[in-house]
Amino acid sequence: MDTREQIVSTTEKLIITKGYNGFSYQDIADVIGIKKASIHYHFKTKEDLGVAFVQMYHDRFNTWTASVKDKPNLDRLNGFGKLFKIVSNNGKHICPIGMLTSEYKTLPEKVQQKVHDILATMEDWTTELIEDGIRTNIYKPSIDSRLMAKILINSLSYETKTARIFENDNQLDQIFAELKKLIVA
């Protein structure tokens, strides 16, 4: 992993714990053992680094959706749930996009745009997943796909935060199971 990748990777960890406004170039410098000015060499401004991080996260999600696009609907649904389980890391981490969603109003314009984009991508993908499930009679026909997509994403994303507070590492599974009960016919 080269220095640039190390910076973005460290940024992810710091956003999870301290948020975008809460971490500093000095924090990153301390973690990877270089000087603050050297980070400015790789990312001229903090805004540039923020944009690069969210773009990386968006790319990661797109790569994942591409990798499961031919799998059965229920596999994709379970895979989506597992994504949050991995992010949560047994109640130790939270979803960084959830953090940026909270901080949105104070984020630099270009970072806001990127956060807006990944949220839209995730909501659209999940909506299509549920639409597909209804169309193929796997899911309950009474469901509104977009609203259920939001309920699913909101419940799981927010749970990574409360799990960290209550040091509860298994309720994410239970919530996902309860949601599946509501969705699957």
Partner DNA sequence: GACAACCTACCTACTAGTAGGTAATTTAGT
Partner DNA sequence: ACTAAATTACCTACTAGTAGGTAGGTTGTC
Q: Is 106 in the site for DNA (CB under 7 A)?
A: no
CB of 99 to a second copy, least distance (A): 5
> Both tokens of residue 71?
């799998």
With the C-alpha atoms ordered 140, 141, 142, 145, is the resulting torsion angle positive or negative?
positive
Angstrom distance (rounded) from CA 156 to CA 80: 10
Site map for a second copy, 91-130, x if CB under 8 A?
---x---xx-xxxxxx-----x--xx--x-----------
**Which of the choices a second copy, DNA, none does residue 181 contact, using the CB cut-off of 5 to 8 A by kind?**
a second copy
> Both tokens of residue 172?
């994410």
**Which of the choices DNA, a second copy, none does residue 36 contact, using the CB cut-off of 5 to 8 A by kind?**
DNA
Site map for a second copy, 9-48, x if CB under 8 A?
--------xxx-xx--------------------------
Q: Are 61 and 118 in contact (CB under 8 A)?
A: yes
Angstrom distance (rounded) from CA 53 to CA 5: 10
Site map for a second copy, 150-169, x if CB under 8 A?
xx-xxxxxxx-xx-xxx---
The three-state (H, E, C) secondary structure of 43-92, written as one string: CCCHHHHHHHHHHHHHHHHHHHHHHHCCCCHHHHHHHHHHHHHHHHCCCC
Binding site for a second copy (CB under 8 A): 17-19, 21-22, 94, 98-99, 101-106, 112, 115-116, 119, 142-144, 147-148, 150-151, 153-159, 161-162, 164-166, 171, 174-175, 178-179, 181-182
